[in-house]
Amino acid sequence: MSIEGKIKRGETSLGIEFGSTRIKAVVVTDDGKPVASGSYLWENRYSNGIWTYTLEDIHNGIQGVYSDLLKNLRLKYGIIPKTYGSIGISAMMHGYMAFDESDRLLVPFRTWRNTFTEKAADRLTELFDYPIAQRWSIAHLYHAVINKEPHLEKLSYITTLAGHVHYMLTSRHVLGIGDASGMFPIDISAHDYNKDMMYAFNAEAQKYGFDKPLEGLLPQVLCAGDFAGRLTKDGAKLLDPSGNLEAGIPFCPPEGDAGTGMTATDSVRPRTGNVSAGTSVFAMVVLENGLKKPHREIDLVTTPSGDLTAMVHCNNCTSELNGWIGIFKELADRLGCDIEMSELYKTLFELALTGDPDCGGLTACGYLSGEHITGFEEGRPLFVRTPDSKFTLANFMRAQLFSSLATLKKGLDILLKEENVGVDILNGHGGFFKTENVGQRILAAAADAPVAVMQTAGEGGAWGIALLASYMINKDKDESLAEWLDRKVFYNTKINTVSPVAKDRDGFDKFMQSYEKMLAAERAAVDNI
């Protein structure tokens, strides 16, 4: 059947993902192939000490990305679809969106990027004997409880960004299990929130006068393949103000960007992993067994199907690197050099591979915001070199690339070396890997493991949530997500794999010795600048 025919008949699935700097929409056919996409740029703001997006930002974003998708569908196929076979919503995980019974937002959306919940996260980690990160929704709620924030009196429910958008479109207060696992610990056997930990939290919160049971505040947990509601008339009008889009389209469970990244890289089986590297960076490894002990550097979350997964999440990755490349572009423009940003990135990334393995005595710390793994509530990007360093552009770029993954490496070393977790391959996706072989080689050095980039890696999380939406309506009876992905989507995908290079690995290890010492300077910068 023609792609046009499938679009007209609604035999497609739509996925929309809210990333840190870009919202993307992807339409796929029933075999998972992307046929059109749209995008919308947005940016978080730092307001009154909070990293946030406003509700207006969210509303404008979903309409903007869908409008761009329709424009591209019309240009490519001459069609404006009235319906789809299914829809899925995904977004950045964690954070805190608190609403009253009339669906009014009680405090500004506190995103994953906020790192002021250390006391709450530490106390919950001790209470549960389970690692709770500062960005987790339950840490934000407990932070509000400890500080007896006034909004708690009116609190009716909390959710994530994906959960909120899904609710606006379907009126269903639900979450995919992967996104839910970044709100509160999951009981893997029950595929639901851990009841014992819920009871422990309720008892702890009552000490501060908060007596609303957690069971009534959190979204219902659903797994990949479950039905999660239908597009309402109001939801259709919100998504497509023109009124062309019809109500009634089924939705898959809303998921977090970690789950869609696993799906988009076929990393949902044990011993598979993926690394998403862009504004932030996180590594996911699906576990065969639980870890020996809790680690503050490692989160335990799940795949969209509910399998236990170790997650190393870092707030900072390429923001400082991008800033420096922007400076070089400004210089090129001043000199009258006509060079595209994509070519500039390619040139500078490839140049980094020619630098000294250990960056020649150059060290960088790209903390634009706080970083929980190393204990920073705020960030101050730094670049330091010794007087006898080899100060070349190649070494400078190599240091920036190493710095982008340095904090991730600290977490991966715990997971792969201390816990001896088995991983056959890491699949890379995100902007860090766009220049062929460069980002892969740097990550392979950091993790001391093979790194693959799929031909489809550029499609990202929006494609991943579109696949989850398609899986819900197109799977065979009792067919698992992993089986469906292998059968329908990745059976003939081209993959480029890079193995670790010894001199890169040894050079990264030497760079890390300087990086660890540099964190004292980073602390001084945060405290004094």
Calpha distance 205→52 (Å, rounded): 26
Cβ atoms within 10 Å, residue 509: 16
State phi, psi for 86 to the nearest 5 degrees: -165, 160
Q: Are 363 and 518 in contact (CB under 8 A)?
A: yes
Full pLDDT tens readout for the chain, 529 residues: 699 999 999 999 999 999 988 999 999 999 899 999 999 999 999 999 999 999 999 999 999 999 999 999 999 999 999 999 999 999 999 999 999 999 999 999 999 888 899 999 999 999 999 999 899 999 999 999 999 999 999 999 999 999 999 999 999 999 999 999 999 999 999 999 999 999 999 999 999 999 999 999 999 999 999 999 999 999 999 999 999 999 999 999 999 998 998 999 999 999 999 998 988 898 999 999 889 998 988 989 999 999 999 999 898 999 999 999 999 999 999 999 999 999 999 999 999 999 999 999 999 999 999 898 898 989 999 999 999 999 999 999 999 999 999 999 999 999 999 999 999 999 998 889 989 999 999 999 999 999 999 876 556 789 999 999 999 999 999 999 999 999 999 988 888 999 999 999 999 999 999 999 999 999 999 999 9
Q: What is the pTM of this model?
A: 0.85
Burial class (CB in 10 A: 0-12, 13-18, 19+), 505: middle
| 207: helix, strand or coil | coil
Task: Dump pLDDT digits (tens) for 139-163.
Answer: 999 999 999 999 999 999 999 999 9
Burial class (CB in 10 A: 0-12, 13-18, 19+), 434: middle
Task: Dump pLDDT digits (tens) for 390-407.
Answer: 999 999 999 999 999 999
> For residue 170, what are the contacts with CB-CB under 8 A and spacing of at least 6?
228, 229, 230, 231, 232, 235, 251
How does DSSP assign 483-519, residue by residue? Answer: HHIIIIISTT--EEEEPPPHHHHHHHHHHHHHHHHHH
Burial class (CB in 10 A: 0-12, 13-18, 19+), 464: buried
> Would you state the torsion angle of the CA atoms of residues 247, 250, 255, 259, taken in this order, to the nearest 10 degrees?
-140
Task: Identify the structural domains of the chain with CATH numbers, from first to last.
Answer: 319-455+495-528 (3.30.420.40)
Sign, CA dihedral 107-111-117-121, equals positive
Q: How far is CA 416 from CA 151, 280, 312, in A?
A: 42, 21, 11
Calpha distance 287→269 (Å, rounded): 8
pLDDT of residue 429: 84
Q: Of the candidates 228, 126, 221, which has an alpha carbon nearest to the alpha carbon of residue 182?
A: 221
Which one-letter DSSP state was computed for residue 415? I
- Looking only at the bridges linking them, the beta strands covering 451-454 and 425-429 are parallel
Task: Dump pLDDT digits (tens) for 42-55.
Answer: 999 999 999 999 99
Calpha distance 187→130 (Å, rounded): 12
Q: Of the candidates 453, 429, 434, 451, which has an alpha carbon nearest to the alpha carbon of residue 442?
A: 451
Task: Dump pLDDT digits (tens) for 306-362.
Answer: 999 999 989 899 999 999 999 999 999 999 999 999 999 999 999 999 999 999 999
Burial class (CB in 10 A: 0-12, 13-18, 19+), 104: exposed
